[in-house]
Structures are given as C-alpha cells and as structure tokens.
C-alpha cells in the first residue's frame, strides 16, 4: 500500500497499537502527527520513531474537546491539511460492576467515545477538502458482551455504531471505518490485565485461549488492518467494523 505524502494524524500514537500504526504509515511514505496525552509521552515516541520532519508531535488530552481540537490543529498546521485520521487513543480497565465508580465510568466514555467523536468533528473540514477517511479503533468487546469490562464494552459499542452513523452522514466525501481487535500485546493488556492478576501466566494463557487462532495479536497486525481501511484499495469500504481477533467474535 502506497501512502506517499499522505498526511496522517494518529491519536494515541505514543504507545501500543497507535505507535505501530504511526511507524507503519511512516514506512509507507506518509507524514504522521503523533498524539499522546502529554508532551513527555509524545516526545519519547518521537525519539523512538526518528524520521526528522516527516513526524510531528501533536500532544493533547483526547478526553477533552480542547485536547482533540489541539491535536487536529497541530497536524493541519504542520502538514497544510489532513488525509487520514486514526482514532487510537483509548483506555480499558476491568472490574466488577459493583466496584466501578463514576470517575472510572466517565474516563472510559470521555477518552474512548467522546474523544473519538470530537477528534472526528475537529478534522471534518480538512477531511472533506482532501476526500480523506477516518479509522476508529473499536474492539471485539464493542461487538459482543464481555463480563468484567462492562464500561469498556459500552464505550466501544458506541464507537462501532457511531462509526456506522458517521459513514452514512459523511458520505460521499469521507469514508469512516472501524477496527475491532481482540487481545493485542500492548501495555494495556500487559499492565492492566496480565501483570496485576494473582497468576499472570494463567491470565495470559486465558487470553491466548480466547481466540480460536490461539494467540494474542501483535500491534503490527492491527496497524496493517488499519492501513488497509485507510488505503485507496479500500475506496468502496465505509461503515465497516472489521474484527481482527483470531475468530474470537465469529461464533457470537
Ligand atoms: N490492546 C488490546 O488488547 C486492545 C484490544 C481492542 C482494542 N484496543 C484499543 O486499541 C487502542 C489502543 O490501545 P493499546 O492497546 O495500544 O493501548 P496502550 O498501549 O495502553 O496505549 C494507549 C494509547 O492511548 C493514549 N491515550 C490514552 N488516554 C489518552 C488521552 N486521554 N489523550 C490522549 N491519548 C491518550 C496513550 O497515550 P500516553 O502514552 O500519553 O498515555 C497511548 O498512546 C485503544 O482504543 C484500545 O481500547 C486495544
């Protein structure tokens, strides 16, 4: 896939799936603005990415409208426009419903759902001009219920259906699609869902067994699916929610 001189913003590009996506777009010839929560997290990512002026720091708290708009504005000012928006910033914590408080609920909705919406809104003017496209990051937990992560499921279910509504409202100018990964080997999974468990190796084995293909995905595998949806080859694909989960959601 050729992304020569395409102008890309990746929210949550400082780590994990977003970092792999920023790397893959740069390898394919794009200009990439990398967002993360803080200047510090983005500058660490920039050091790892290298590539001189092809990559630009676009920090901003995606849980806030101001942060979403700042990230988009930085990318647009640096590149003179925008062709592709990848909404990858996200959080995911699990615990039983009784222990899930208002603050945790709000932060899931603010980063995963509200942030995705307002980053899209901020990018519309430029994406209309470029006939660009948006790839949102949902989850297979947005396609089906998963116990223990109810707020995460609610936020990602919102992302999946919002993607479909946006695809209809923004056609024919802007394509909007969504990737729905299963477990992916990133900080989110290692830190929050394996290392904190009483028996981490059992928790990891549970994630491997969750997918009929019997493994955890790499961030690069998700990045390549994102690139397909963002590419010219996917020019008739819009409103899709593509599971990349080793068939975990196929029978549900
Ligand atoms: N890993 C999985 O198994 C999995 C499965 C399905 C879907 N997903 C989704 O994939 C996306 C990426 O997840 P990941 O696994 O790569 O997570 P990760 O390794 O924990 O990275 C999360 C990224 O999101 C950024 N972020 C979080 N809150 C933010 C905020 N308020 N403002 C700006 N950036 C923020 C982080 O920035 P900082 O570096 O500044 O903190 C970081 O770049 C998320 O939407 C997640 O829900 C992940």
- Residue 111 in contact with ligand 1 by CB distance below 6 A: yes
Q: Is 11 helix (H, G, I), strand (E, B) or coil?
A: strand
Q: What is the pLDDT of residues 81-116, one digit of tens each?
A: 999 999 999 999 999 999 999 999 999 999 999 999
What count of other Cβ atoms lies within 10 Å of the Cβ of residue 210? Answer: 18
Average pLDDT over residues 149-157: 97
What is the Cβ-side half-sphere exposure of residue 179, based on CA atoms within 13 angstroms?
27
Residue 217's pLDDT is 98
Question: Which atom from ligand 1 is nearest to the alpha carbon of 92?
Answer: 47
Domains contained in the chain, CATH given: 7-182+219-241 (3.40.50.720), 185-216 (no CATH)
- Residue 226 in contact with ligand 1 by CB distance below 6 A: no
Residue 226's pLDDT is 98
| Residue 210 designated active-site | no
Residue 193's pLDDT is 86
Q: What is the pLDDT of residues 208-223, one digit of tens each?
A: 999 999 999 999 999 9
- Residue 227 in contact with ligand 1 by CB distance below 6 A: no
Please give the distance, rounded to the nearest whole angstrom, from the Cα atom of residue 187 to the centre of ligand 1. Answer: 8
Classify residue 198 as exposed, middle or buried by CB count within 10 Å of its CB (0-12, 13-18, 19+). Answer: exposed
Distance in Å from the first CA to the final CA of the chain = 32
Identify the helix (H) or strand (E) that includes residue 10.
Answer: strand 7-11
């Amino acid at each position: 896939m050729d992304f020569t001189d395409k102008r890309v913003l990746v929210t949550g590009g400082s780590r994990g799936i977003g970092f792999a996506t920023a790397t893959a777009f740069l390898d394919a010839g794009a200009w990439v603005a990398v967002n993360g929560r803080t200047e510090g997290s983005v500058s660490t990512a920039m050091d790892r990415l290298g590539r001189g002026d092809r990559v630009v720091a676009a920090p901003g708290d995606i849980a806030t409208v101001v942060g979403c708009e700042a990230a988009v504005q930085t990318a647009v000012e640096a590149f003179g426009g925008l062709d592709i928006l990848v909404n990858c910033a996200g959080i995911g914590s699990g615990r039983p419903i009784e222990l899930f408080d208002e603050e945790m609920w709000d932060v899931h909705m603010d980063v995963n759902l509200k942030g995705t919406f307002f980053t899209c809104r901020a990018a519309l003017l430029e994406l209309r001009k470029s006939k660009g496209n948006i790839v949102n990051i949902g989850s297979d937990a947005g396609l089906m219920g998963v116990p223990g992560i109810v707020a995460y499921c609610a936020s990602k279910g919102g992302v999946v259906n919002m993607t479909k509504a946006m695809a209809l409202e923004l056609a024919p100018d802007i394509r909007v699609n969504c990737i729905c990964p299963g477990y992916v080997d990133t900080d989110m999974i290692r830190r929050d869902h394996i290392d904190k468990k009483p028996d981490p190796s059992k928790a990891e084995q549970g994630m491997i067994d969750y997918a009929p293909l019997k493994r955890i995905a790499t961030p690069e595998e998700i990045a390549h699916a994102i690139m397909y949806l963002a590419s010219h080859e996917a020019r008739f694909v819009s409103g899709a929610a593509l599971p990349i989960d080793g068939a975990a959601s196929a029978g549900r």
